[in-house]
Amino acid sequence: MLASLSAAAQTTAPITTLPVAEHAKEVALFQQELNAEYRNPAESPLPAKELKNFKGLPFFPLNSTARVQARFVRDSLAAPFEMETSTARRPMYRKYGDAYFTLDGQALKLTIYQSLDLIQKEGYQDYLFVPFTDRTNGHSSYGGGRYLDLRLGQIQNGQVVLDFNRAYNPFCAYGGNIPAPCRPPKTACP
């Protein structure tokens, strides 16, 4: 889902700076909240047997260069569609827009989606879903890709910060019965 772009298409603004210590604190809090959700039997996608021994999810080391500012382009014309999942379930989504950015010297684009089911649920009306694949898939992360969560308020003046330090494997990567795209964790970005 990561796609290369021509250099002409790349017009991302400078990265919004965030002190390394503050960034590390934000990412650590995200990881703690996600681990707490996985420990909670009412919310965890882990089978009971694995939940008993759960110590925490594996995370990549913090990489401050993996936090990028992207140019956001809204797509208000996209028709709703059935999102393909790892099961027969086909939830309704719509393309919300695209994020254009540079990471490791490569111009990239990610598509941002909005769930038509979640916009009807309290607390998720502004939730956005960003699935992506990278070189870690099938090796040190879930083969089907990882997710980033966004909230509408994070998109400001045609810009959005994507922090790949907050990427997570979908719930279905852990053997639960929740099909991909899996429900978002409660730790969606504020």
Q: What is the pTM of this model?
A: 0.79
Residue 88, phi-psi category: left (phi > 0), alpha (psi -120 to 50), beta (remainder): alpha
With beta carbons less than 8 A apart as the criterion, state whether 44 and 176 touch: yes
With beta carbons less than 8 A apart as the criterion, state whether 138 and 102 touch: no
CA distance 179 to 177: 6
pLDDT given at position 52:
87
3-state DSSP assignment of residue 23? helix
Q: Which ranges constitute the DSSP H helices of 40-119?
A: 48-52
Kindly report, residue by residue over 158-173, the tens digit of the pLDDT.
999 999 999 887 766 6
pLDDT given at position 113:
95
With beta carbons less than 8 A apart as the criterion, state whether 66 and 163 touch: yes
Kindly report, residue by residue over 105-143, the tens digit of the pLDDT.
999 999 999 999 999 999 999 999 998 877 766 666 665
CA distance 161 to 173: 25
CA distance 178 to 101: 31
CA distance 133 to 60: 15
Name the stretches of the chain with pLDDT < 50: 1-14, 177-190
3-state DSSP assignment of residue 53? coil
